Amino acid sequence: MTNKYTINDLSVYLFWDMDKVAMDFEKSKKSIIYKVLEYGTTQDWKIIKEVYGLEEIKQAAISFRNLDPVTLAFLSNYFQLNKTDFRCYTNKLSAQNFWNS
Instruction: Give residue 5's identity as a one-letter amino acid code.
Output: Y
- Does residue 57 register a pLDDT over 60? yes
pTM as predicted:
0.83
Residues 62 and 5: their CA atoms lie apart, in Å, by 25
- Does residue 72 register a pLDDT over 90? yes
Percent of the chain with pLDDT over 70: 87
What burial letters (b/e) apply to 9-19, b meaning 16+ CB within 10 Å? ebeeebbeeee
Query: Rounded to a whole number, what is the largest CA-CA distance in the chain?
Result: 44
> What pLDDT does residue 20 have?
81
3-state SS, residue 82: coil
